[in-house]
Amino acid sequence: MRIISYNVNGIRAAIKKGFLDWLQTNPADIICIQETKALKEDVDHKLFNDLGYHDYWFSAQKKGYSGVAVFTKIKPDNVEYGNGHGPSDDEGRVIQLDFGDIRLINAYFPSGTSGDERQDFKYKWLDEFYKWINTLKKKYPKLILPGDYNIAHNEIDIHDPKGNKNSSGFLPDERAWMTKFLDSGWIDTFRTIHPEPHRYSWWSQRFPSVRLNNKGWRIDYINVTEPLKSRIKDAEIYPDVKHSDHCPVYLELNSK
């Protein structure tokens, strides 16, 4: 099972930048997209079907905002839209798919960069999500959680930790949440294989030189629960794929 998580910063914009050509290279069996900024009917989704993908969308009520989708060559046994948390579901932040005894949850965590109100929303969302997913883990021990978490966990995950100590996405309480989350039985799959620094998945668009000089943040993850740790075969980040201010992150699991 090959999985990609990718915040495309608008699926229609990404398509104009060659997203479909990239899909033709068969980068993964399951492509988890965040920040679609579109309804399913806004996009010619037959284009994905023609490439062999089943497509599942969960969009925000607000047009042109948030939203998640999954394009998968492996047909899921079950799909659930949202997670029952009203404020999150209104913003199209979670979609769940079952593949045998594995449940995959594609999630777009809120950003707090626009101000205190959204930062407060982010903290409440994180608390609600933590309770929900750890309850779910009791029913489905084998969970995969791809997504844009909007949190750089450790200093190694950000190019300028000192300069960003007061920046949303690297605040002490956010980082503490991530530590608590991982300590509750989750594996940061990328770090199991790649302990090296300077590996990022997002770069600010304000200055083009930022990505050129790799001044980024690692805020995109594909984490798994402990029962899947032994099945991790490969994990990677693809900074040369450029349809967005993010890049894809990758996980490959052995079948057994």
Per-residue pLDDT tens digits for 67-103: 999 999 999 999 999 999 999 999 999 999 999 999 9
Domain ranges of the chain: 2-253
50 is known as an active-site residue: no
Q: Tell me: pLDDT of 108 over 90.
A: yes
Phi, psi of 26 (to 5 degrees): 55, 60
15-62 pLDDT per residue, tens: 999 999 999 999 999 999 999 999 999 999 899 999 999 999 999 999
CATH of 2-253, one of 3.90.79.10, 1.10.10.60, 3.30.465.10, 3.60.10.10: 3.60.10.10
* Active-site pick, 42, 101, 127, 148: 148
Q: What is the pLDDT of residue 208?
A: 80
Residues 6+ apart with CB under 8 A from 179: 153
125-168 pLDDT per residue, tens: 999 999 999 999 999 999 999 999 999 999 999 999 999 999 99
Model's pTM, two decimal places?
Answer: 0.97
Query: What average pLDDT score do residues 196-213 get?
Result: 93
Q: What is the pLDDT of residue 182?
A: 98
